[in-house]
């Protein structure tokens, strides 16, 4: 979950910076100065994890709500620089990297501006709000030679690394299908975040929040519960499906689906939002597997999430910080259905069948039918994801979730929205990362 963040309208940006700043190689012992752009729920959580990585210090924060800026000082020191305008952060020479946790409609602009200002970027998921965002982010990262890591932490998880290893070992045979679900059946799970009592146009920079979104009158719900509207967020596809795609792609090595079929609707939270609270989708990965996803915000159910990988010889389930493998021994014979035949034909058929498939007698202990692998108690994959990011910043090495990976995950996830809007199957090219005509 994330809340609103600081931003500046696009027309403000050009006078502040032009040429990319050169960055000298950093020593592993150098302290990395981090700035937060978007100090909402996700932004403050991310920062609390990021500063636990040795050698990282928060020096600045930007947000459109004054109360969050005050709280950043309460959390990380009165000496940190705070502003409503992230341009002021990007102009500071003491900022090495930025953590962007703005609403989705600001992801592209904030990331591009930061990279053009010579900053490395940790960009919360989904990487894009519109499909046109992806190529621009990728091109800017390449042009500026900036580090950009997308914030789907599963890619750094030791649990998902174990699942990847197990799948590659053939433990469940040939992968045929992946199903995943994420149910958040509560008001907060459905983005009904708390609105501060002092919320107003005086304490909140409403024009800056809107940015390129349609200009509408001040609305505290849109500001603090922005995920409920397509103008600022990407619905459950961008909030939750994208995590399931990044996990699937990391574990299987796939680049993405080629077809998407989705349906959904507003079933419970009929409170003025236009983002669905129920979404179901099927995705085809040709010659590999099918992926079925489900998200449910309807109140009254159980809060849960998980993956199930089904292969020809078993299943692998991910739940929380554990992986469970259930093996089903491969069939050694096809079996027979002869009970409706005449008795003589039954005997003759079975006799011929047993010549072809003799009864086998096994010796030794059979392999365990069920095996479980769990991360240590208290394990947090977000820490590992930030550790990977800062290691890349120091050593100028590739990150574990670069903008190409991030675009393929977000692009695939948002196909569900396109399919629902069109009421039809949508075709996607995961190599060129483009929607194609049928």
Distance CA 429, CA 432 (A): 6
More confident position, 166 or 8: 166
Average pLDDT, stretch 49-70? 98
pLDDT at residue number 101: 98
Evaluate if residue 417 carries a pLDDT over 60.
yes
**Percentage of the residues of the chain whose pLDDT score is greater than 90:** 84
Distance CA 311, CA 433 (A): 27
Q: With bands split at pLDDT 50, 70 and 90, how would you rate the model's confidence at 29? A: low
Q: With bands split at pLDDT 50, 70 and 90, how would you rate the model's confidence at 433? A: very high
Would you say how long the chain is, in residues?
Answer: 438
Give the per-residue SS3 of the chain. CCCCCCCCCHHHCCCCCCCCCCCCCCCCCCCEEEEEECCCHHHHHHHHHHCCCCCEEEEEEECCEHHHHHHHHHHHCCCCEEECCHHHHHCCCCCCEEEECCCHHHHHHHHHHHHHCCCEEEEECCCCCCCCHHHHHHHHHHHHCCCEEEECHHHHCHHHHHHHHHHHCCCCCCEEEEEEEEECCCCCCCCCCCCCCCCCCCCECHHHHHCCCCCCCCCHHHHHCHHHCCCCCCHHHHHHHHHHHHHHHHHHCCCCCCEEEEEEECCCCCCCCCCCCEEEEEEEECCCEEEEEEEECCCCCCCEEEEEEEECCEEEEEECCEEEEEECCCCCCCCCCCCCCCHHHHHHHHHHHHHHCCCCCCCCCCCCCEEEEECCCCCCHHHHHHHHHHHHHHHCCCCCCCHHHHHHHHHHHHHHHHHHHHCCCEEEECCCCEEECC
pLDDT at residue number 6: 32
**Percentage of the residues of the chain whose pLDDT score is greater than 70:** 92
Query: pLDDT tens across 263-298, in order?
Result: 999 999 999 999 999 999 999 998 789 999 999 888
pLDDT at residue number 366: 60
The closest alpha carbon to 174, from 255, 332, 258, 289, belongs to: 289
Q: With bands split at pLDDT 50, 70 and 90, how would you rate the model's confidence at 208? A: very high
The closest alpha carbon to 412, from 383, 381, 396, 433, belongs to: 433
Distance CA 364, CA 384 (A): 41
Burial 68-77 (b: 16+ CB within 10 A, else e): bbebbeeebe
pLDDT at residue number 303: 82
pLDDT at residue number 367: 61
Query: pLDDT tens across 304-329, in order?
Result: 889 999 999 999 999 989 999 999 88
Q: Are 256 and 134 in contact (CB under 8 A)?
A: no
The closest alpha carbon to 38, from 274, 238, 226, belongs to: 226
Which residues, including other chains, have CB under 8 Å from residue 381's CB and lie 6 or more apart?
A: 153, 154, 156, 157, 158, 159, 160
pLDDT at residue number 23: 46
* DSSP strand pairing (32-37 vs 97-100): parallel
Evaluate if residue 9 carries a pLDDT over 80.
no
Task: Judge: domain 10-156+381-401, CATH 3.20.20.70.
Answer: no
pLDDT at residue number 30: 83
pLDDT at residue number 368: 64
Residue extents of the structural domains in the chain: 10-156+381-401, 158-329+367-377+408-436
Distance CA 355, CA 359 (A): 9
Average pLDDT, stretch 247-252? 97
pLDDT at residue number 4: 34
Evaluate if residue 3 carries a pLDDT over 90.
no
Distance CA 45, CA 59 (A): 16
pLDDT at residue number 361: 74
Evaluate if residue 228 carries a pLDDT over 70.
yes
- 7-16, 43-52, 129-138: least confidently modelled range: 7-16
Evaluate if residue 28 carries a pLDDT over 70.
no
pLDDT at residue number 14: 26
* Residue 126: cis peptide before it, omega within 30 degrees of 0: yes
Query: pLDDT tens across 80-119, in order?
Result: 999 999 999 999 999 999 999 999 999 999 999 999 999 9
Task: Tell the CATH superfamily of the 158-329+367-377+408-436 domain.
Answer: Dihydrodipicolinate Reductase; domain 2 (3.30.360.10)
Evaluate if residue 364 carries a pLDDT over 80.
no
Average pLDDT over the chain, rounded to an integer? 91
Evaluate if residue 7 carries a pLDDT over 60.
no
pLDDT at residue number 116: 98
Q: With bands split at pLDDT 50, 70 and 90, how would you rate the model's confidence at 363? A: low
């Amino acid at each position: 979950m994330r809340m609103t963040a600081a931003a500046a309208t696009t027309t403000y940006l050009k006078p502040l910076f032009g040429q990319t700043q050169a960055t000298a190689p950093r020593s592993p012992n150098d302290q990395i100065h981090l700035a937060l752009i978007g100090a909402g729920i996700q932004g403050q959580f991310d920062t609390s994890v990021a500063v636990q990585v040795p050698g990282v210090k928060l020096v600045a924060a930007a947000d459109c709500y004054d109360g969050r800026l005050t709280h950043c000082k309460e959390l990380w020191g009165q000496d940190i620089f705070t502003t409503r305008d992230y341009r002021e952060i990007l102009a500071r020479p003491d900022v090495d990297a930025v953590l962007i946790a703005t609403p989705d409609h600001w992801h592209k602009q904030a990331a591009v501006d930061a990279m053009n200002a010579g900053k490395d970027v940790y960009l919360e998921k989904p990487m894009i709000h519109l499909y046109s965002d992806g190529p621009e982010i990728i091109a800017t990262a390449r042009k500026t030679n900036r580090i950009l890591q997308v914030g789907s932490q599963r890619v750094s998880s030791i649990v998902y690394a174990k699942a990847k290893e197990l799948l590659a070992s053939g433990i469940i045979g040939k992968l045929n299908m992946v199903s995943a679900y994420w149910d958040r059946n509560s008001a907060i799970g459905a983005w009904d975040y708390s609105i501060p009592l002092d919320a107003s146009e005086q304490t909140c920079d409403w024009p800056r929040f809107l940015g390129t979104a349609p200009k509408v009158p001040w609305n505290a719900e849109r500001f603090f519960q922005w995920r409920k509207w397509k103008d600022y967020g990407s619905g459950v596809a961008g909030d939750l499906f994208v995590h399931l795609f990044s996990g699937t792609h990391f574990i299987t090595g796939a680049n993405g689906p080629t077809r998407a079929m989705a349906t959904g609707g507003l079933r419970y939270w009929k409170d003025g939002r236009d983002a669905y609270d129920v979404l179901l989708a099927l995705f085809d990965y040709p010659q590999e597997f099918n992926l079925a996803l489900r998200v449910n915000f309807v109140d009254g159910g159980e809060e849960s999430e998980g993956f199930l990988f089904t292969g020809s010889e078993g299943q692998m389930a991910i739940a929380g910080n554990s992986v469970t493998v259930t093996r089903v021994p491969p069939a050694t014979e096809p079996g027979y259905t002869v009970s409706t035949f005449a008795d003589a034909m039954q005997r003759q058929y079975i006799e011929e069948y047993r010549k072809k498939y003799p009864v086998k007698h096994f010796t030794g202990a059979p392999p365990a039918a069920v095996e479980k692998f769990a991360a240590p108690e208290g394990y947090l994959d977000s820490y590992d994801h930030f550790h990977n990011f800062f290691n890349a910043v120091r050593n100028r090495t590739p990150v574990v979730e670069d903008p190409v990976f991030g675009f393929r995950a977000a692009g695939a996830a948002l196909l569900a929205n396109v399919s629902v809007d069109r009421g039809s199957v949508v075709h996607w090219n995961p190599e060129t990362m483009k929607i194609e005509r049928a």
